[in-house]
Amino acid sequence: MTSLSKTELHRRMMGCWLGKAVGGTLGMPFEGHDGPLELTFYDPVPTTSLPNDDLDLQVLWAYVLDKMETPRVSRHAFAQAWLDHVDFPWDEYGKAIRNLKMGFGPPWSGSYDNWFQTSMGAAIRSEIWACLAPGNPPLAMKYAYEDACVDHAGEGIWAEAFFAALESAAFVCQDQSTLLDQALDCLPEQSNIRLAIEDTRRWWSQNNDWLAVRQQILDKWGVDNFTDVTMNLSFTILGWLAGGGDFGKSICIAVNCGKDTDCTGATLGALMGIIDPDCIDEHWLKPIGLDLVVSPEIHDIEAPKTLGGFTDLIMSLKNRLDSVPPEDFSQDEKPDLPGVAADVAFVDASWLTGDDQTPMPSFPDQNKRTILQGTSASLASDAFEGEVLLLRYRINLPEKQAVLFMFNTPSASCAWLDGKFCFSRGEGSMVPALHRAPDNQITTLELEAGEHEIVAAVAKPADGKDASWVCGIGDAQTKQWVINVFEYVYS
């Protein structure tokens, strides 16, 4: 437990939020860039902090806790807040909101049919739990779990738990090696995050060249999805190791690694702000000021106007939360999670040219109705009975609307809706998000209410890997998933 004075505790909390704002604002303009970058300062130089979900959602959790007569960290309270106050459609956020609307509460809202369950959306929300449990990593981790399980699973949850433990310990310990050892010991031995950070530490000690270590991280742990936790947590730790205690150098190296740049910069900035609030030079603070800027997608809440006011709120919540453990949900019953019905057949590959307007093949009479894992599904390469897998889904729209139709797979593929060609492509990246799916994997259509038929063709992977895909229907305006349109089958 922390033995810091209230004054010192407040100072370190304020350092946390200042570092978070600086790092997020530095990295935000470059989110999703592959890198390496060459930043030494903001580009462009801002006049205020940039709004960022990294901080937005923590402001929301503070609001939710503050409205409780007796604040208690609760996954179900956070789940309701996603429905009441959040319009983010992105990646795991969109899948969690869809799952919650379908009646699947946490932790199943985070794990069911969620291709993005190991993305960065939870890892970036760790600081509030460290601040509410300073010097108490086990409690900070429990808090983090309640938060992360709403929209993540597996490594996505461990990522937030790791940072919460690391930042909690940083309130009372400033030694980098000790902090990393303690936080890594909180992770399972075979956690990818643990293994990747151990790799990063070893590689850095061997050559002290951050660009070389960055490439080693990408070679071993890099994936198509720029928000992957294992890759980005490694970049965050690399920035910390390579920065030598210099705040600006550290966050610039983390951001210059590329990928989820606002998240890596913001998290490292917060960590360093906790360890030593004075390390944040004034020239980093002057351009952004002290205002707390919240994204418009967070609505119907009362947020503090400044980072100082937010720090005061967190201090108050810490006092109210003392001796109040997280709720125990170990007895929650698992809901009946459905599969998605589809007709499956296999055909010759001769017609799969990838040209525009590829005609839809006749669906063979010899097909079988299959219950897939969800809108996200896979098939082992050795289970292919031909060169091309054909899938036929039936969807039902409650009303006429403009929709986003997505069929995302790394394999060569074609897709049709109601017999009309929609898109095709050769092999490529897989990022099944309605707001950022790869080219030729998504289109906007005006569909009438009622039944429609999707047919998709997936070529057998040449490398022997499993075929994987995600089929989705979203609202063209909000980019949120349209719920219950597929033919769901419950056991």
- Hey, what long-range contacts does 287-293 have (CB within 8 A, 24 or more apart)? 287/42, 287/45, 287/46, 287/47, 288/21, 288/22, 288/25, 288/46, 288/48, 288/49, 289/47, 289/48, 289/49, 291/48, 291/49, 292/49, 292/55, 292/59, 293/48, 293/49, 293/50, 293/51
**Residue 484: closest CA among 400, 376, 406, 395:** 395
CATH number for the domain harbouring residue 441: 2.60.120
User: CB 329: neighbour CB atoms within 10 A?
Assistant: 14
| 404 and 436 belong to one structural domain | yes
Structural domain of residue 294, as residue ranges? 6-321
- Distance in angstroms (rounded) separating the CA atoms of residues 190 and 130: 24
Domain assignment present for residue 331? The answer is no
Same domain membership, residue 387 and residue 280: no
User: How big is the CA angle at 249 (ends 243 and 252), to the nearest 5 degrees?
Assistant: 110
- Asked if residue 361 belongs to a domain, the reply is yes
330 in a structural domain: no
Enclosing H/E stretch for 161? helix 155-170
**3-class secondary structure per residue, 431-465:** CCCCCCCCCCCEEEEEECCEEEEEEEEEECCCCCC
Asked if 483 contacts 102 with a C-beta cutoff of 8 angstroms, the reply is yes
Same domain, 224 and 349: no
Whether residue 123 is found in the same domain as residue 196: yes
**Which one of 264, 287, 321 terminates a domain?**
321
- Domain of 172, CATH number, reads 1.10.4080.10
Looking at the fold, whether 92 and 223 belong to one and the same domain comes out as: yes
pLDDT at 439: 83
Nearest alpha-carbon partner for 316 in 102, 68, 94, 121: 68
Share the mean pLDDT of the chain. Answer: 95
**Beta-carbon count within 10 A of 396 CB:** 12
Query: In angstroms, how far apart are the furthest CA atoms of the chain?
Result: 75
User: What are the tens digits of pLDDT across the range 195-246?
Assistant: 999 999 999 999 999 999 999 999 999 999 999 999 999 999 999 999 999 9
Q: Look up residue 354 and give its DSSP letter.
A: -
**Same domain membership, residue 436 and residue 350:** yes
Distances, alpha carbon 80 to alpha carbons 4, 325, 330, in Å: 34, 20, 19
β-bridge mates for residue 451, sequence order? 396
Last-in-domain residue among 293, 321, 349 = 321
When pLDDT is averaged across residues 359-374 and rounded to a whole number, the result is: 88
**At residue 328, does pLDDT exceed 80?**
no
- Same domain? For 209 and 64 the reply is yes
Residues 231 and 173 in one domain: yes
pLDDT reading at 352 higher than 80:
no
412 Rama sector, left if φ>0, alpha if ψ -120 to 50, beta otherwise: beta
Which residues is 343 bridged to in the sheet?
369, 392
Average pLDDT over residues 402-425: 95
pLDDT of residue 326: 75
Q: For the chain, how many structural domains are there in total?
A: 2
| Residue 351 within any structural domain of the chain | yes
- Predicted confidence at residue 361, as pLDDT, reads 82
Q: Are residues 51 and 172 in the same domain?
A: yes
Residue 323 has what pLDDT? 76
Asked if residue 138 and residue 266 are part of one domain, the reply reads: yes
Claim to verify: residue 310 and residue 402 sit in the same structural domain: no
Q: Is 93 within a domain?
A: yes
Q: Give me the amino acid identity at 235.
A: F
Do you find a cis peptide bond into 107, omega within 30 degrees of 0? yes
Q: Which residue has the higher pLDDT, 315 or 364?
A: 315
Residue with tokens 């056991």, as numbered in its chain: 491
Dihedral sign (CA 184, 187, 188, 191): negative
Around Cβ 344, how many Cβ atoms within 10 Å? 15
Count Cβ atoms below 10 Å from residue 322 Cβ, excluding itself.
10
Both 301 and 378 in a single domain?
Answer: no
Please state, for a pLDDT cut of 90, what percent of the chain lies above it: 90
Whether residue 36 is preceded by a cis peptide bond, meaning omega within 30 degrees of 0, is yes
Distance CA 398, CA 401 (A): 9
Query: For the chain, what is the radius of gyration of the CA atoms?
Result: 23
Roughly how many angstroms between the first and final C-alpha of the chain, as a whole number?
47
Residue 328 domain flag: no
pLDDT(36) > 90: yes
Last residue of one domain, picked from the residues 271, 293, 321: 321
Contact yes or no for 54/263 (Cβ under 8 A): yes
Q: What pLDDT sits at residue 353?
A: 54
156, 159, 149, 163: which is closest to 96 by C-alpha? 149
pLDDT digit string (tens) for 431-468? 999 999 988 999 999 999 999 999 999 999 988 899 99
What pLDDT score was predicted for residue 320? 95
Look at residue 355 and tell me whether its pLDDT is greater than 70.
no
Q: Out of 252-256, 376-380, 461-465, which region has the weakest mean confidence (pLDDT)?
A: 461-465
Can you give the pLDDT at residue 351?
A: 57
Mean pLDDT within 309-317? 98
